[in-house]
Amino acid sequence: MLAAERQQKIFPMMMTAAGTIAPARVFIIGAGVDAFDVRPEAREQIMPLGAQPLNVDLGETGKTKDGYAKQLTDDQLDKQRQAMARMCAQSDFVMTTAKVSGSTTSAQGAAYQSQAKPVSAEDAYLKLEAAQSVVFVPGYGMAVAQAQHIVRELGDMLIENGAEVRYCIHPVAGRMPGHMNVLLAEANVPYEQLVEPQNVNPTVEIVEAAIVIGANDVVNPAAR
């Protein structure tokens, strides 16, 4: 929906009296369980939906005893990245449905290497233990990961340690503030811990730590 709002062309194919308008070409990275899943099962999941897999000759790949895709070699990853780069150049819109770890770009345009690492509530608590006031700003990433219960667990740990914990619905973390309220309610976050919209910016300015969840997934460009 966000891409359709910004695209210069119509997404679906349309038949008109003047002729046929070709559909937009969309490249989706992340079928299966991660962004580089090359198992046959991943192909089977997308083809009934009308999608076509990007075929790359990677040689032997296979899967683990648990059914997950095996780690690709450096040569296989290089071949895959080259094929994806060519497809990105030919596409009208590129969407990632999973975190693509590895190389990324800084705000200054410099490329560097990074690796996504899971963090438990206990690990996050240790980093925030000294904070006396913490605000959580939930976003699209929390919804995708269904992490509202973990966020509530972390908040409870901080409260037990004597910190003041609040939850702010703010467009910096995405375009779905109403949905965030529903997720927080599902996790039994007390209503009194929610900050009223008009008080969000003043609250964020005075707390010791603000945790924005999911701003790398969907960020509202109009947020201030």
Q: Would residue 25 count as lying in a domain?
A: yes
More confident site: 157 or 2? 157
What is the tens place of the pLDDT at every residue in 132-163? 999 998 877 777 777 889 999 999 999 999 99
**pLDDT tens by residue, 159-207:** 999 999 999 887 666 555 567 788 888 899 998 998 887 888 888 788 8
pLDDT of residue 110: 47
Burial 191-211 (b: 16+ CB within 10 A, else e): eebbbeeeebeebbeebeebb
Structural contact between residues 32 and 42, judged by C-beta atoms closer than 8 angstroms: yes
Same domain, 35 and 80: yes
State the residue range of the domain holding 152: 121-213
Residue 83 has pLDDT above 90, yes or no: no
User: Looking at per-residue confidence, does 83 or 3 come out higher?
Assistant: 83
Q: Which residue, 114, 134, 155, sits at the end of a domain?
A: 114
Q: Does a structural domain hold residue 221?
A: no
Indicate whether 70 pLDDT > 60: yes
CATH code at position 97: 3.40.50.720
Parallel, antiparallel or unpaired: strands 133-138 and 164-167 = parallel
For residue 175, the SS3 value is coil
Based on the structure, what is the number of domains in the chain?
2
pLDDT for position 68: 64
Active site amino acids: 217
Cα distance between residue 130 and residue 63, in whole Å = 43
Residues 46, 125: one domain? Answer: no
71 and 147 together in one domain: no
Q: Are residues 106 and 128 in the same domain?
A: no
- Let me know if residue 6 belongs to a domain: yes
Query: Does a structural domain hold residue 45?
Result: yes
Same domain as 164, residue 80: no
More confident residue, 120 or 114: 120
Higher pLDDT, 215 or 157: 157
- pLDDT greater than 60 at residue 109: no
Residue 191 lies in a domain: yes
Which of residues 54, 80, 114 is at a domain's end?
Answer: 114
19 and 70 share one domain: yes
Residue 222 in any domain: the answer is no
Question: For residue 186, what are the contacts with CB-CB under 8 A and spacing of at least 6?
Answer: 148
* 39-65 pLDDT tens trace: 777 777 778 877 888 888 877 776 766
Same domain membership, residue 46 and residue 77: yes
The predicted model gives 71-100 an average pLDDT of 80
For all residues of the chain together, what is the average pLDDT? 77
Q: Is the pTM of this model over 0.75?
A: no
Rounded to an integer, the average pLDDT of 64-84 is 78
| 6-44 confidence digits (pLDDT tens) | 777 778 888 888 888 888 888 887 765 555 667 777 777
CATH of the domain at 180: 3.40.50.1220
Question: Could you tell me if 103 and 133 lie in one domain?
Answer: no
* Whether residue 44 sits in one domain with residue 126: no
The reply to whether 41 falls in a domain is yes
Same domain? For 161 and 139 the reply is yes
Tell whether 209 and 125 lie within a shared domain. Answer: yes
Domain end marker among 114, 136, 160:
114
